[in-house]
């Protein structure tokens, strides 16, 4: 059976050059990088070489990179590490309503400790209004965290404008860039951010490796206490094979980015227009233009998104209903709720995330099977044919 994988927002396959680069550090070069003898010292040098590669991908300095176990840990370190380091400066945190759970729950952690947390609303496309952010900042605000792009609806936020407001007011700004690094150009200087999170899972690197960029001389309280690894900012022996894999993936991503963006955008547009032509009563979610080039997200009226995922999998087509960290919760997506979609419509969400390895033939296969799956599910739906309000978005231009 043909397999079409369109869930790259959840995980990307490990690239062959990445795996080849990692293998020696699983088999031959196994010494602990913190040891003083030559075997460990050589591996420590390799880690620093990878740090420089990751830094180059996002326009940072190598000393501004901390390796973590995931994007979620990087987000936790960004929020908790900076807020705790600045507890004498204020007790107010601002995050958007569409953040990843690792940011939202980190903010709620401080809310339970009597910090004030503002959850900024977004418009129907998922965009944060810069004026609303400016009005929300107070003299007690110590951190603002707004993601670069949402992995559920694909919308790219106006980060440079938002960060400039914070910089002017002396407030630290963090962005979760897990969905963007390797998919669109990301430069920490152009974005004007103080902290930025990324993950190997989105770059063709292995699971279990992430990065937090933090601006030089920024104070950061560690979450994991131990030895002097990562200059004391994260204890624990480094995951050397994964770090090597991430370094190689970052190198490849920088080389391939322009070509990849053009390729996935063509396939994305083919998918969006094809669904628009072949399926009725479907709402395109996220911003029509300010979005990830390989990302398409929809809500199909009168069906359950989970049911569509299962049915498409029977054809060998793999998609998702939203964030992989929340897809088993069987609750209405808070992101779709934040953009104003009715709960009944939001239940029919489906997310297609395309990568460089996908082909036109695969998208055409999806366009053949998807309408069949939707029709079958609607034939069993007790609410099909009833009036459910939808946004009329012209997704195909």
| Residues designated as active site | 325
Asked if 122 and 97 count as a contact pair (C-beta separation under 8 A), the reply is yes
Name the residue among 383, 369, 32, 96 with its Cα closest to residue 227: 32
Q: What is the sign, positive or negative, of the torsion defined by CA atoms of 384, 389, 395, 397?
A: positive
How far apart, in Å, do the first and last CA atoms of the chain sit? 33
Work out the angle between the directed axes of helices 305-314 and 360-379 (0-180°, nearest 10): 120
**Helix (H), strand (E) counts: the chain:** 13, 12
C-alpha span between 108 and 259 (Å, rounded): 40
C-alpha dihedral, 277 to 281 to 283 to 289, nearest 10°? 20
Asked if 196 and 39 count as a contact pair (C-beta separation under 8 A), the reply is no
Identify each DSSP E strand in 147-266 by its residue range.
172-176, 195-199, 210-214
């Amino acid at each position: 059976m043909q397999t079409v994988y369109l869930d790259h927002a959840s995980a990307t396959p490990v690239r062959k050059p990445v795996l080849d680069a990692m293998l020696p550090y699983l088999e031959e070069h196994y010494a602990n990088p913190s040891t003083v003898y030559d075997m460990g010292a050589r591996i420590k040098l390799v880690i620093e070489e990878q740090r420089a590669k990751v830094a180059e991908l996002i326009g940072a300095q190598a000393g501004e990179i901390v390796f973590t176990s995931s994007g979620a840990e990087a987000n936790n370190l960004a929020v908790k590490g900076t807020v705790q380091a600045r507890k004498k400066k204020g007790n107010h945190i601002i995050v958007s309503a569409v953040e990843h759970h690792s940011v939202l729950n980190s903010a709620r952690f401080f809310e339970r400790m009597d910090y004030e947390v503002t959850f900024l609303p977004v418009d129907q496309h998922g965009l944060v209004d810069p004026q609303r952010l400016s009005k929300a900042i107070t003299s007690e605000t110590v951190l603002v965290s707004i993601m670069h792009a949402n992995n559920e609806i694909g919308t790219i936020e106006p980060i440079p404008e938002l960060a400039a407001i914070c910089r002017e007011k002396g407030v630290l700004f963090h962005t979760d860039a897990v969905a963007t690094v390797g998919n669109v150009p990301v430069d920490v200087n152009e974005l004007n951010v103080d902290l930025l999170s990324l993950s190997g899972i989105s770059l063709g690197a292995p699971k279990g490796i992430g990065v937090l960029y933090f601006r030089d001389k920024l104070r950061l309280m560690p979450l994991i206490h131990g030895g002097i690894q990562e200059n004391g900012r994260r204890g624990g022996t480094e995951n050397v094979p994964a770090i090597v894999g991430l370094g190689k993936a970052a190198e490849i991503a920088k080389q391939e980015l322009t070509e990849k963006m053009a390729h996935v955008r063509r396939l994305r547009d083919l998918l969006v227009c094809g669904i628009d032509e072949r399926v009725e009563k479907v709402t395109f979610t996220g911003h029509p233009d300010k979005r990830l080039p390989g990302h398409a997200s929809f809500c199909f009226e009168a069906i359950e998104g989970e049911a569509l995922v299962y049915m498409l999998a029977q054809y060998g087509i793999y998609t998702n209903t939203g964030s992989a960290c929340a897809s088993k919760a069987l609750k209405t997506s808070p992101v779709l709720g934040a953009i104003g979609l009715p709960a009944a419509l939001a239940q029919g969400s489906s997310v297609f995330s395309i990568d460089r390895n996908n082909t036109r033939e695969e998208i055409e296969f999806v366009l053949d099977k998807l309408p069949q799956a939707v029709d079958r599910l609607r034939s069993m739906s007790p609410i099909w044919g009833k009036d459910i309000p939808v946004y009329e978005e012209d997704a195909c231009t």
